[in-house]
Every structure is written in structure tokens, then in C-alpha cells.
Amino acid sequence: MATHETQLAGKPLLIHVAESEDDLEGFRDFIRANLRILACDSETTGLDIYSDEFRLRVVQFGNHEEAWVIPVERGGRYNADVIKALRGVQQLVFHNASFDLQVFDRHLGVRMEDLWPKITDTRILAHLVDPRGREEGGTGHGLEDLTRHYLDPDIADNVKGLMAVLAREHKVKKDEIWKVIDFNHPQYQLYAGMDTILTANLYRRLRPLVPAEAGTLVRYEHKLAEVCSSMERTGFLLDVDYTKDLSERLLEEELAYEGQAVHMGCENIYSTEQVADVLEARGVVITGRTPTGKRKVDKKLLSDLCGSGDEFAVAVQRAKRARKWRTTWVDGFLQRVDKDDRCHAAINPLRARTARMSITGIPAQTLPAGDWMIRRCFLADPGHVIASVDYQTQELRVLAAISGDRTMQQAFRTNADLHQITADASGVDRKIGKMVNFAYVYGSGPRNIAEQGGITVETARNVIAGFEKSYPKVKQLSDKLQQFARRNGYVTTPFGRKLPVDPQRPYSALNYMVQSSSRDITAQALLRLHDKGFTPYLRLPIHDEVLLSVPTDKAEWGARRVGEIMATTFQGVYIGTGPEVGGRSWGSLYGADL
């Protein structure tokens, strides 16, 4: 048995490493002495849990001052003892439990459903304490960031940075070191053992800091993480042949349009200066400038030129689009697909300050709006069709609820046209009224609204004034939240979520309140669907929408039933749903020709 001695904020620590099966007796004694609660972690060959090359190498258990590192990659009794420990310890603490539990489910045969009820995730606790990322002035939610803030900056810099040092020593990329580093390397063992000790200490620090009003959110967020990890494990069936063909077609399109651009005098469409030169040679006047004084050729300029029929702008825009779609999405799907032709999205239920979810791998929230081509890559399971259930004007209904505005609430009760009401109050068309309704929620000012809507700033001010006159309680709520945020630095949602508000941006308080409350309405719907047994059919949560794969012969009933379960009344305002049944592909909901 190897033992490493180190320190955390001046306190001695011990990390034991089982080098032979005889050493496991000491590990068993440690588990028996800590059956009530232990931190746990794993070391793997990477992050792609469902690829054929992925391996589980090490599992670690630890308390606030001592840890054990077990090489499960050797199999046999090492595996057996770790499985017994996972099942025997009454409470397990992880940092980002979703990843490790999926690893254990797939590679140790310990089902996530058996472990989730006794899990505490310090990443969830950290978000409830401070939901801001480091770039927003918060603590961040990664283990290294939290260690630096709450425990020991030296440990954060020296121990958590070990693998980067080892990668340089081995002359491999940082994400490759996990595959090649020898288990017996003392720094690898130190790194592995410290993770559980740090997690155990963070649990002690963070749990008392969770705001009292957010106390009920602790179990709620863990249950939501369980549902999302189940969706990740299930994955989404990929039409591999279509996706490969689409990749080839996008490459052909990219090269064809790049060729057109070259023919018109631009060797590199990704050089802003070259594009600007060609545009000006074609008579385009570029007035915009970057902060460094260079000519500004942005998406808006290119889109305007495309709209007017400029062939060069079309070539640049189409080539860039084809490349982005191919490299960002389509080829990524092919790289991530497993042996069963399924892609497994990474769903982070607590990503943003407002707790809105994010999805990577299958970035459903950032795919081109209204386009079927990329979505066509994904299929319902055999014998199934795709169904979508989304909330109807969710955020505006949430705004009506929390503001208590009678005009807005009455409009929803009678199915009146809210966008037309806003437009009529200012003498503009409905399109502008609709834009302002949503822009107000997001805290957009007159200048942004004018730019988005193609109207003057003065007109934008008049429409905002019309909105505030039509729905006076909304303006009162916004003012009240801003005043509270200036005094206290945060606002608290009806769900008990504490949201920091930047002092220089108090106007964001209304947006945070509405966006966060909307997220929790969707999240609670996912939990109700889980309780009703619909989790195996869930594929992705997309803001206010849930995407499902449902049996063809029960599709209409299933979508309708899901819609009924999701529908809710929030502070007196009914938030209904719109179920929709498509064909075999996700793209069928967007007009794909099957």
C-alpha cells in the first residue's frame, strides 16, 4: 500500500492507494468506519462515457482528511469492493454526480436509480449558494474554482493543476493524459485522492451557506439532475447514413461558395479585411468600425446585402454557414455516436445564473431556428415517432403572474391578442408589439429594440411607453425589483432561488425573475413526468419544450397526456401546452420531407 501525505490549509491529509488485493482490507476498514457519509469520485480515460474506447480507471472514497484510491481497471476484488462500498455507504457526496453515476451504471453495473436517492452534489450546492460563473464575478462551480475560493488557493493551483503538468511531461494534450498516465505515478494518485477530500471539505463549507429560502431546492435539484442523467444515458438515435450524406453535401456547398468568392477576388472569406476589400470594390460603403478602428463586416451587414441580392455576400454567408453547420453540429454528431447509433447529450440542469439548462453534444438550444436539416439527423426509436410539447407564451404568462397585472392576466384568460394590445397602444403594427413584449422581459432598451425592429429610437421609446401604460403592474414590478436589487444585490424568485443582480445592471432583475421562474416551471414538469413514468420516452428538454420518442400507436394520446401533465397554474395564471406529433425524424416537426 502506498500512502501520500499532504496538507489542506495547513491541516495534514492522508491518501492511501491499494496497490495489491491485500491492501483492500484497509480499504474495507475505512469504509466500515465511515458508513454514514463519504465523498466519492472516479478517474476515467476521458469524458465520452458511451464510446467504445472509454474506460473507468480508478474510484476514490474520502472524508475531509483521508482518502482511498482503488484501481478498478484491474477488475476482480478491486471492482467487487468498490461496488460494495457504493451500495453500503449511506450518503455519498460527489462533485458533478451525473457524470460519475453514469460511469458506474455503465462500467460497474451499479444502476443510477439505486444511488441517486443518497447523493449530495457539491456542484448543485455551489450553484444554490452563488449561481454566477467566475466570468460574472461569482465563485464558479468547478472543483478547482471552489477549492480556490473556499478552501486553499495553493491546492487549487498546485494539485488541481497536476494533470496539466503531467501532460507536458508526457508530451500529450491535456485531455489525452488520462489515457496514458500509469496508475502507479505518485502525482496521479495524489490528484485522484485529493478530489474526494476536497469534495468532502466543500460539502462542509457549502451546505450551511445555502440560503434558507432555497432549502427546498436542494432535493428538488438533485431529483432533476437524476431525470436529466437518465435522458443522457438513453441518448437520441442518430440517422447515421443521412448524417454522413449531409456532412458531404455541406462540404460540397462550402467549397462551391468559397470558389465563387475566390472568383470574385476574395482568397479567404474568413479574413474580414479581404471581404471588406471586395465589398468596397463592389461599391458597398462600410460605415461600421471595430474597437480597433478596422472596417466592421458583421452578420447584419452581410444579411442586409444578401437581402438586396449581392452575389458576393451570398457566397460568403452560405460558405460560412455550411462550414459552421458541418463542423459545429453534423460532424460532431458522427464523432459522438455510440455503437448503437445513439448520441448522448450532456445536459447541465444548472448552467446559467438563472438556473436555465444548457445542452452540449446535441446543442438543441442553439440549432438554427425553424430549420429542419440538422434536426433531421435524429430519429425516434423503431416503432416510435417524435412528439414535442411546449408551453404557450410561457415567459409572458409568468410575467403576468408575478406582476399581478390585471390587463395582462385578463388577456390570457380570454385569449386576447397581447401583442396587438401593445401595438394598438402605440400605433405600430403587431410585429413590433410582439417584439417589444418579449424585449421588455429581457431588459432591452430603446436602442436595442430600434435596431432589432428596424424602427427609430423615438418610436421604440413610444412603444415601450405604450407597453408600460397597457400593463402598469409590470412597470411597478420592474421598479420594485430594481430598487430591491440596488439595496441588497439580489432578488429572490417565487421558488426561493436567490439571484445576484449586478449593481450596474439593476434593470436585469425583471429578466432574471421571469427567466428563472420559467425554468423552474419546466423543471417541475419534468419531475411530474418522471413520477408518472414518462422518463424513458424523454429525449431533450429545450427551454420551454420537451422532446419525446413515443410509440406510434399511442402517439396522439401520449403527447396529449404529456401536455396535460406539464400544464400548470402559476400564481393564478394558467400556463397551457401545445402538444405536436411528428414523423420518425425530429426534422419532421420543422417540415422535413420524409
Q: Which residue has the cell 455519498?
A: 92
The range of the structural domain enclosing residue 405 comes to: 395-509
Measure the CA–CA gap between 166 and 274, rounded to whole angstroms.
Answer: 42
Which of 97, 88, 151, 156 shows the shortest CA–CA distance to 122? 97
The tens digit of pLDDT for each residue in 101-145 reads 999 999 999 999 999 999 999 999 999 999 999 999 999 999 999
How many CB atoms within 10 Å of residue 383?
11
Distance CA 384, CA 317 (A): 37
Q: In sequence order, which ranges of 355-507 are alpha helices (DSSP H)?
A: 394-403, 406-413, 418-426, 430-441, 446-453, 457-470, 472-488
Q: What is the pLDDT of residue 593?
A: 61
CB distance 34 to 89 below 8 Å: yes
- Same domain as 438, residue 370: no
pTM beyond cutoff 0.85: yes
CB within 8 A of 255, min separation 6: which ones?
none
Same domain, 359 and 401: no
Give the count of beta carbons closer than 10 Å to the beta carbon of residue 182.
7
What distance, in Å, lies between the first and last C-alpha atoms of the chain?
61
Q: Are residues 112 and 143 in the same domain?
A: yes
For the chain, the domain total comes to: 4
How confident is the model at residue 363, as a pLDDT? 85
**Same domain, yes or no: 502 and 529:** no
Does the CA dihedral 92-97-99-105 come out positive or negative?
Answer: positive
Q: Please check whether residue 232 lies inside any domain of the structure.
A: no
Q: Which of 460, 480, 509 is the last residue of a domain?
A: 509
Together in a domain, 276 and 348? no
Q: How far apart are CA 51 and CA 339, in angstroms?
A: 7
Burial class of 252 by CB neighbour count within 10 A (0 to 12, 13 to 18, 19+): exposed
Could you tell me if 311 and 419 lie in one domain?
A: no
Buried b (16+ CB within 10 A) or exposed e, 229-248: bbbbbbbbbbbeebbeebbe
* CA 306 – CA 312 distance, rounded (Å): 8
Q: Are residues 354 and 402 in the same domain?
A: no
Q: Strand, helix or coil at 430? A: helix
CA–CA distance from 71 to each of 20, 44, 57, 300, 589 (Å)? Answer: 9, 11, 6, 55, 47
Residue 167: per-residue pLDDT: 83
Selection from 101, 45, 52, 44 nearest residue 337 by Cα: 52
Domain membership flag for residue 223: no
Is 331 in the same domain as 378?
A: no
CATH code (residue 470): 1.10.150.20
Which positions of the chain have pLDDT values less than 50?
Answer: 594
- Domain boundary among the residues 192, 210, 228 is at 210
**Among 479, 509, 539, where does a domain finish?**
509
The CATH number of residue 14's host domain is 3.30.420.10
Measured in whole angstroms, the distance separating CA 564 from the mean position of its chain's CA atoms is 26
d(C-alpha 325, C-alpha 372), whole Å: 12
pLDDT at 447: 80
Residue 34 within any structural domain of the chain: yes
Distance CA 97, CA 205 (A): 18
Environment class of 494 (CB within 10 Å of its CB; exposed 0-12, middle 13-18, buried 19+): middle
Residues 6+ apart with CB under 8 A from 3: 14, 15, 16, 17
78 and 182 housed in the same domain: yes
DSSP 119-145: EEEHHHHHHHH----GGGTS--SSHHH
Residues with Cβ within 8 Å of 574's Cβ and at least 6 positions away in sequence, in order, are: 397, 412, 413, 567, 568
219 inside domain: no
Angle between helices 457-470 and 430-441 (to 10 degrees): 70
Same domain, 286 and 329: yes
Does residue 459 lie in a domain region? yes
In a domain, 536, yes or no: yes
Question: Residue 439: its pLDDT value, please?
Answer: 81
Task: Give a yes or no: residue 218 inside a domain.
Answer: no
> Are 127 and 199 members of one domain?
yes
Contacts for 500 with CB less than 8 Å, ≥ 6 apart:
130, 131, 132, 138, 353, 489, 490
- In the beta sheet, which residues pair with residue 136? none
* 381 shares its domain with 418: no
Q: Which CATH number covers residue 309?
A: 1.20.1060.10
Residue 566 pLDDT: 98
Q: At 214, phi and psi to the nearest 5? A: -100, 10
Return the SS3 of 379.
Answer: strand
Task: Tell me if 527 is assigned to some domain.
Answer: yes
Residue 545 sits in a domain whose CATH number is 3.30.70.370
Assign residue 417 a region: left if phi > 0, alpha if psi is -120 to 50, beta otherwise? Answer: beta
